[in-house]
Amino acid sequence: MHAETLAVTRVVRAFADCWNAHDMKAFGDLFASDAEFVDVVGLWWNGRAAIRDAHTFTHRTIFKRSRLTLDDMSLRWPAPHVALARCRWTLAGHVASDGTPLPERRGILLNVLRKDGDRWRIIDAQNTDVIPGELSRPP
Amino acid sequence: MHAETLAVTRVVRAFADCWNAHDMKAFGDLFASDAEFVDVVGLWWNGRAAIRDAHTFTHRTIFKRSRLTLDDMSLRWPAPHVALARCRWTLAGHVASDGTPLPERRGILLNVLRKDGDRWRIIDAQNTDVIPGELSRPP
């Protein structure tokens, strides 16, 4: 595997590894200080601190025992130091805000990464749930 | 406004203009031939033809009389010829697949654009519905 492909793949894999270790300090370090993140319900966080703090809260509550699996990564290079990494994911073991266990769900995550110095970081993430059998949001 | 900012803003505005004119030929031309697009329910289209054909279908049916308004654009430049454009949107006038009118809805659209020659095109789009009052997908 090409060295840059390997480096970008490692960062994307680390997204899931930090999630599954519920280590939000390490999770936050994957992002650039000015990164943006839009989650599956359209919460739009600006900056590493906001991304880390939001995930710290959810990993103490609804995602505390959740497990994220990434699959089917598509990788493209719009510029030498910019990568688009899109993967399908499956989330298991999450709960509603009242603690009720929820069924496994799937989605698609886009990460945009940039190499600054010798390190690739996520500069943007947008996440979308997969709702099977629909063309657009159901009524 | 800087010339490149103006050019990218025009392409993003044209996304909404083509949508509202229901002109899916012009809509498709905004995308690079190898663009990817993930819609709000996680349909993942690969290539301009797939993006154009899917939107041609929805603009004959559920989006036939819909109107898309873009707002709050955030623009970033990870490389000189690459732009990330994120906007909030409102969609009105759409219907369910049985023709039932649906309420106005909101979302967030990320477009990644690249300049090839003298023309900016969308190389990637990912769209997410805003579901107010939730941290993650409701049960």
Q: What are the tens digits of pLDDT across the range B52-72? A: 999 999 999 999 999 999 998
Q: Is B32 within 8 Å of B48 (Cβ atoms)?
A: yes
Q: Is A99 within 8 Å of A68 (Cβ atoms)?
A: no
Say what the pLDDT of residue B89 is.
98
Distance CA B87, CA B110 (A): 7
Say what the pLDDT of residue A132 is.
86
Distance CA A13, CA A26 (A): 13
To which residue do tokens 């839009």 refer? A38
Overall pTM surpassing 0.90 (yes/no)? yes
Confidence tier at B134 by pLDDT (50, 70, 90): confident
Say what the pLDDT of residue A138 is.
65
Secondary structure class of A86 (helix, strand, coil) = strand
Distance CA B124, CA B120 (A): 12
Q: Is B9 within 8 Å of B16 (Cβ atoms)?
A: no
Rounded percentage of chain B residues whose pLDDT exceeds 70: 97
Question: Which of B42, B79, B80 is closest, CB to CB, to A108?
Answer: B42
Distance CA A115, CA A7 (A): 10
Query: Which of the two residues, B87 and B73, has the higher pLDDT score?
Result: B87
Confidence tier at A1 by pLDDT (50, 70, 90): low
Confidence tier at A133 by pLDDT (50, 70, 90): confident
Token pair belonging to B102? 């649906």
Average pLDDT over residues A89-95: 97
Average pLDDT over residues A91-100: 94
Report which secondary-structure segment, H or E, holds B122: strand B119-129
pLDDT digits (tens, 9 = 90+) for A27-64: 999 999 999 999 999 999 999 999 999 999 999 999 99
B84, A105, A87, A114: CA torsion to nearest 10: 40
Are the Cβ atoms of B82 and A78 closer than 8 angstroms? yes
Average pLDDT over residues B20-46: 97
Q: Is B117 within 8 Å of B96 (Cβ atoms)?
A: no
**Alpha helices, H only, chain A:** 3-21, 24-29, 48-58
Residue A103 CA, distance from chain mean position? 19
Are the Cβ atoms of A43 and B74 closer than 8 angstroms? no
Chain B interface test: which of A74, A105, A115, A135 (most B C-beta within 10 Å): A135
